[in-house]
């Protein structure tokens, strides 16, 4: 929200008070507590009739410093997010001197300067990362009739010259957020607007730090868009809390952020394979589903998951969690037959209960649906006629909802697509008394948690997976998330990728999207280009609105493209699964913006049409029918994965690609573990594995870990020198290894010596 009218004036009806000085600073319970009056105190009389802000600094984890700004501390606190703080064994360092006080966590320090003007700095290694200075820490009141009504608390953190801001959730506009106004408010706005399904009040910059605003409700950001030298964030109410998260690298920032807010769960290997759906409003029954599945098998198109979208339930009944008996008279038998074909099954759900559903009366009578303040059940006709909304703050309602899902899992359902969760009303009264404004974004967390718990209980940890659309802080702990409703165009394909990159920079380790776009039907060119791109992300799903998305519905070449890239992905499963485990253990996403892997290369700062898949593969999707693609290779030698061509970076390349090709470049020094199977994603990766070495010309040693879905682990040591390599396993595991472009060599006694040079 903008409060000022240019540099000098406030907007009409807006009145701001700013922390003017650090009047006194005290240490209390491992915290610094600062009294910051809103004018400089020169004599005792200045303390009368003068509001003051209380600023508290603490460190919940190493490398993280929190700041809480309070006007009135006696009001009900705004709801924050569940955070994971260090045990009692961790103690930050607090120091005082004549001019300042500081709190430090290792090399990371927050310093408050005594007296005027107000000055709070965050530094590492003697260098200031960002700061809160004059007219930065503010309390804003509004005149009657000003909408939205105050009061507000805001903070402004400085932006250095050349400093760029990323993140703030899955956003589909420019990847660099400088100059943007961003509202953290979940909305069902598609991928072509400023709205987002996954709003996350966390950003990171290219200066070595990130910022989390610990406020579950609406947060308004002015990213150099009100005061161009600062990032402003504001919340309604009497207090604001934020955390500065030190890196210095983007990987370290994301690792610490997910340590604070939760790391992604490990997702099962089967979920990495190709998903096919019924699409949204198409006509289908078991015969139609079987024709799709058999058609995929007949064309040698490996399929891992089949998804039933909305109309597995009867129209006007969403959700009653009952298979429509008119088209699925034998659901248990059908699910068994699908499992017999080696498939997993996902079904669509949402948290809404339509009035015609038999569950509506049951839930309303038990008090399981959100109510209006007058006690009536909240209802509307948007989406489903007369629908109500499950109140997940009511423990009994959550248990009731989960019971319906357990019945489906017991029938044979393997996963749930948790659609919606963004259109959450404000004119309601929650069972636990939660503030509706603060529950709006947090609702999706309660919804997805209820579903994910069922899958973990019934299927076990490591085999639970969602296909979720909405999220906020902490949502990354319950993967997978997909990009929402895109259109079937190249432009929408590009905005979808931007959303995925922004999501990755907001802590989400796994991501997918509707291959070919959701709204409308793509032409064959869009479908084929999107297929190549979609099968080179962590999770891959064919889905649409009103048309089937089997490849042969477009042309025969689409079948060939699907086969090529599906099989390519399945052979890469040892590599992709390891990247997924890293996402779970360290918070580093599988799909990585170039800025994560190459933070010191200024040429990657604005790149949003290419990415790294894991740490070793560079992918540049083709966004046009002609096949022209322009992309950037950072410093080092890169090898085209499909052709073996070597290219020296740094530099830009313009290439022409047919539909069966896409720029896939392997980073110098990479060792790619290639699996022996291309028919399914959940196989024994170590059986017949081939390690492809892309050596450097200088001497280098590295380790590689291969983790199988069953938990079996093997470690390999690789040394390269002058283009040759030696590979050694830590156990007697038969394996092959080869230099890129060379023939595989079989291991002997757990060792391979590759004597050929790489040129």
Q: Which residues are catalytic?
A: 419, 422, 485
Compute the distance between CA of residue 441 and CA of residue 218 in angstroms, rounded to an integer.
8
Q: How far is CA 612 from the centre of its chain?
A: 15
Question: Phi-psi bin for 214: left (phi > 0), alpha (psi -120 to 50), beta?
Answer: beta
Beta bridge partners of 102: 95, 111
Closest alpha carbon to 446 in 468, 462, 415, 414: 468
Helix pair angle (573-586, 556-571), 10° resolution: 60
Question: Could you tell me where the DSSP H helices lie in 262-386?
Answer: 286-298, 331-340, 358-366
Q: How far is CA 215 from the centre of its chain?
A: 18
Beta bridge partners of 220: 183, 234
8 Å CB contact between 367 and 431: yes
Compute the distance between CA of residue 724 and CA of residue 230 in angstroms, rounded to an integer.
51
Task: Determine the straight-line distance between the first and last CA of the chain, rounded to whole angstroms.
Answer: 58
Query: Which tokens sit at 410?
Result: 């017991």
Beta bridge partners of 416: 347, 466
8 Å CB contact between 629 and 742: no
Closest alpha carbon to 621 in 692, 565, 682, 691: 565
Element (H, E) at 585: helix 573-586
Q: Is 342 exposed, middle or buried (0-12, 13-18, 19+ CB in 10 A)?
A: middle
Compute the distance between CA of residue 621 and CA of residue 521 in angstroms, rounded to an integer.
20
Question: Phi-psi bin for 395: left (phi > 0), alpha (psi -120 to 50), beta?
Answer: alpha
Query: Which tokens sit at 105?
Result: 């966590």
Q: Which residues 6+ apart lie within 8 Å of 482 measured at CB?
A: 467, 468, 469, 511, 512, 513, 514, 539, 541
Residue 244 phi, psi (nearest 5): -95, 125
Residue with tokens 């890169």: 638
């Amino acid at each position: 929200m903008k409060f000022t009218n240019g540099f000098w004036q406030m907007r009409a009806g807006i009145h701001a008070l700013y922390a003017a000085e650090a009047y006194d600073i005290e240490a209390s319970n491992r915290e610094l507590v600062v009294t910051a009056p809103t004018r400089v105190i020169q004599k005792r009389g200045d303390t009368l009739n003068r509001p003051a802000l209380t600023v508290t600094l603490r460190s919940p984890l190493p490398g993280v410093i929190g700041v809480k700004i309070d006007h009135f501390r006696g009001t009900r606190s705004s709801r924050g997010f569940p955070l994971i703080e260090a045990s009692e064994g961790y103690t930050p360092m607090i120091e005082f001197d004549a001019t300042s006080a500081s709190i430090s966590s290792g090399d990371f320090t927050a310093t408050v300067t005594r007296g005027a003007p107000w000055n709070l700095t965050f530094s590492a290694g003697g260098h200031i990362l960002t700061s809160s200075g004059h007219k930065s820490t503010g309390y804003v009141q509004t005149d009657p009739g000003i909408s939205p009504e105050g009061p507000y608390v805001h903070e402004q953190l400085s932006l250095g010259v050349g400093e760029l801001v990323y993140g703030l959730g899955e956003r589909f506009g420019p990847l660099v957020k400088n100059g943007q106004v961003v509202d953290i408010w979940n909305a069902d706005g598609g991928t072509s607007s400023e709205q987002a399904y996954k709003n996350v009040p966390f950003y990171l910059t290219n200066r070595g730090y990130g910022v989390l605003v610990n406020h579950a409700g609406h947060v308004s950001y002015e990213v150099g868009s009100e005061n161009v030298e600062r990032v402003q964030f504001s919340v309604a109410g009497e207090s604001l809390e934020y955390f500065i998260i030190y890196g210095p690298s983007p990987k370290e920032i994301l690792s610490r952020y997910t340590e604070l807010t939760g790391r992604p769960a490990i997702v099962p290997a089967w979920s990495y394979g190709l998903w096919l759906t019924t699409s949204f409003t198409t006509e289908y029954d078991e015969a139609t589903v079987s024709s799709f599945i058999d058609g995929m098998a007949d064309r040698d198109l490996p399929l891992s998951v089949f998804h039933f979208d909305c109309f597995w339930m009867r129209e006007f009944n969403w959700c009653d969690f009952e298979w429509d008996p008119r088209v699925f008279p034998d659901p248990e038998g059908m699910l068994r037959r699908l499992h017999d074909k080696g498939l997993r099954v996902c079904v669509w759900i949402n948290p809404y209960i339509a009035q015609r559903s038999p569950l509506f009366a049951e839930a309303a009578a038990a008090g399981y649906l959100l109510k209006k303040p007058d006690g009536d059940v909240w209802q509307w006709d948007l989406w489903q006629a007369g629908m109500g909304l499950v109140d997940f703050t009511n423990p009994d309602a959550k248990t009731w909802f989960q019971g319906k899902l357990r019945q489906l899992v017991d029938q044979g359902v393997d996963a749930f697509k948790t659609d919606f969760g963004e259109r959450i009303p404000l004119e309601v009264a929650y069972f636990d008394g939660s503030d509706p404004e603060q529950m709006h974004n947090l609702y999706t967390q309660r919804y997805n948690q209820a579903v994910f718990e069922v899958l973990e209980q019934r299927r076990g940890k490591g085999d639970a997976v969602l296909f979720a659309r909405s999220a906020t802080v902490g949502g990354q702990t319950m993967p997978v998330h997909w990009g929402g409703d895109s259109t079937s165009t190249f432009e929408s394909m590009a905005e979808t990728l931007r959303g995925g990159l922004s999501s990755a920079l907001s802590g989400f380790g796994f991501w997918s999207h509707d291959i070919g776009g959701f709204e409308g039907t793509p032409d064959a060119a869009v479908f084929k280009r999107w297929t190549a791109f979609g099968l080179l992300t962590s999770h891959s799903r064919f889905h649409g609105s009103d048309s089937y998305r089997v490849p042969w519905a477009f042309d025969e070449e689409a079948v060939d493209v699907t086969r090529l890239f599906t099989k390519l992905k399945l052979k890469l499963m040892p590599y992709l699964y390891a990247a997924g485990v890293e996402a779970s253990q360290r918070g580093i996403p599988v799909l990585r913006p170039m800025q994560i892997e190459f933070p010191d290369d200024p040429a990657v700062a604005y790149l949003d049409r290419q990415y790294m898949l894991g740490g070793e593969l560079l992918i540049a999707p083709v966004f046009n029918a002609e096949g022209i693609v322009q992309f950037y290779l950072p410093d080092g030698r890169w090898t085209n994965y499909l052709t073996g061509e070597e290219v020296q970076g740094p530099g830009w390349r313009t290439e022409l690609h047919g539909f069966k090709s896409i720029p896939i470049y392997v980073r110098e020094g990479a060792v790619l573990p290639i699996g022996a199977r291309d028919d399914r994603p959940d196989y024994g990766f170590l059986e017949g594995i081939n390690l492809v070495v892309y050596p450097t010309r200088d001497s280098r040693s590295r380790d590689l870990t291969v983790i199988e879905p069953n938990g079996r682990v093997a470690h390999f040591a690789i040394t390269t020198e002058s283009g040759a390599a030696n590979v050694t396993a830590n156990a007697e595991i038969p394996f092959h290894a080869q230099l890129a472009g060379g023939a595989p060599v079989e291991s002997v006694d757990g060792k391979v010596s590759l004597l050929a040079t790489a040129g």
